[in-house]
Amino acid sequence: MELKLEKLTLLGGLTAADLFDSLNIVLITWMLMVFLPRWRWTPTLTLVTPMLHSLLYALGIFSLVIFPQDPDAAQLDFMSLEGVVTGFTNHNIVFVGWVHYIAFDALVGRMVLLDSLSHNASTSFHICGVVPSLIFCFLLGPVGFGLYMVLRFFFLPKDPVNDGKMKIL
């Protein structure tokens, strides 16, 4: 299948295909969270790729909205399932949607990690609870978050300072 891709003006005229492989840089974030959770630089470095992807997302979506090159390109209509399905037949919209998923899944994984650290989770809990949650966050987003919340409820002590509220940043 031949892809019909617009050049993304705000991204130097590159196409989604040109940029797609660069999304794999997010693997650095996931590796840090899995293998170096307590390293002093992990909280900072795990923000780098979501920030880069947020910028890529913004420039990509604004390129499609402000500088549309295909007058027949499907317009996103979030008010109906049919409208969303029609919108996602545009490969460029699928690309920026994928960037959206990658950025948010990494941020949710980061939140899981930082919350577990704030509860002084043991290394064994990290290996048996946090790592599977991170894998599910990476692959299935909300499933990983839900798994972590269940494990957190049963196996981590409540935080007396914050009444058990989750720490995000």
Q: Name the token pair of 44.
A: 């900072």
Sequential DSSP letters for 115-135: HHHHTT--HHHIIIIIHHHHH
Alpha-carbon distance 89 to 138, whole Å? 24
C-alpha dist (Å) from residue 137 to 46, 77, 87, 154: 14, 27, 25, 19
Q: Is the pLDDT of residue 159 over 70?
A: no
Residues 6+ apart with CB under 8 A from 37: 113, 116, 117, 126, 130
Terminal Cα-to-Cα distance of the chain (whole angstroms):
42
Lowest-pLDDT range of 90-99, 100-109, 141-150:
90-99
Q: Name the token pair of 100.
A: 């959206």
pTM for the model stands at 0.88
pLDDT in tens, 70-85: 665 556 677 999 988 8
Q: Is the pLDDT of residue 168 over 60?
A: no
Residue written as token pair 């399905």: 85
DSSP 25: G
pLDDT in tens, 128-146: 999 999 999 999 999 999 9
Alpha-carbon distance 84 to 49, whole Å? 27
Q: What is the pLDDT of residue 161?
A: 57
What residue type is 120 in one-letter code? N
pLDDT in tens, 11-70: 999 999 999 999 999 999 999 999 999 999 999 999 999 999 999 999 999 998 888 876
